Structure 1
Amino acid sequence: MNPKLLKVKEEITKTKDKIADMQARLRELERQKTELENAEIVAIFRKERMTEEEFAQFISAMGQKGAAPAPFRHTEKEADHEE
């Protein structure tokens, strides 16, 4: 077989292997990113001490307005009850 053709075929195989490795790496990085984003959301949820219903309303308001609503704040009555 022509040595040049053989070399090109080998290079194609190497390139395909590199692409597969990079795609796997990309999927792993995207998984890590999603995991970190989810952890951040949970931290905000816990910091604000929202109930599940309040959090659902917050998310719903974000989707309806196209932007984040004003930060959630407990009412004085709720704050007194928590202490």
Structure 2
Amino acid sequence: MNKKLSKILAEIEKTKEKLSEQQGKLRELERQKTELENTEMVELIRSTKMNTEELSTFLKAFRKKSEMPIFMPKQEEQHDEEN
């Protein structure tokens, strides 16, 4: 086989391996991001001191009143506004 062709085929294989590794790393980072977002949401909901029924009623009422998505500032932003 041609030396140049062998070199290119080896480089292709090496690049495919790196790409596969990076895709796995990306999936893991996306999983971690989702987990952290979920944790943040749970903490925010728990900080309202509402039970699940009260929270459900609140969210349904809010959606009926406004088609806008629910937005609440992050806790850091709330602390900044207080100071």
* Counterpart in the other structure of 2:15: 15
Deviation string, structure 1 residues 23-70 (Cα, Å, up to 9, x no partner): 000100000000000000010111111211233344444596232167
Q: Gaps (5+ residues) in structure 2?
A: 74-83
1:12: Cα distance to partner? Answer: 0.4
1:20: Cα distance to partner? Answer: 0.3
Matched ranges for 1:3-82 at <5 A: 3-60=3-60, 61-62=62-63, 65-68=67-70
Greater CA drift, 22-31 or 58-67 = 58-67
Q: Gaps (5+ residues) in structure 1?
A: 72-83
Greater CA drift, 44-53 or 2-11 = 44-53
Specify the code of the residue in structure 2 equivalent to 1:11. E
Distance 1:10 1:21 in 2: 17
TM-score under structure 2 length normalisation: 0.71
Distance 1:58 1:69 in 2: 13
Indicate how the Cα distance of structure 1 residues 29 and 70 shifts in structure 2: closer, same or farther if over 3 A, else same: closer
TM-score under structure 1 length normalisation: 0.71
Structure 1 counterpart SS, 2:70: coil
Distance 1:62 1:22 in 2: 40
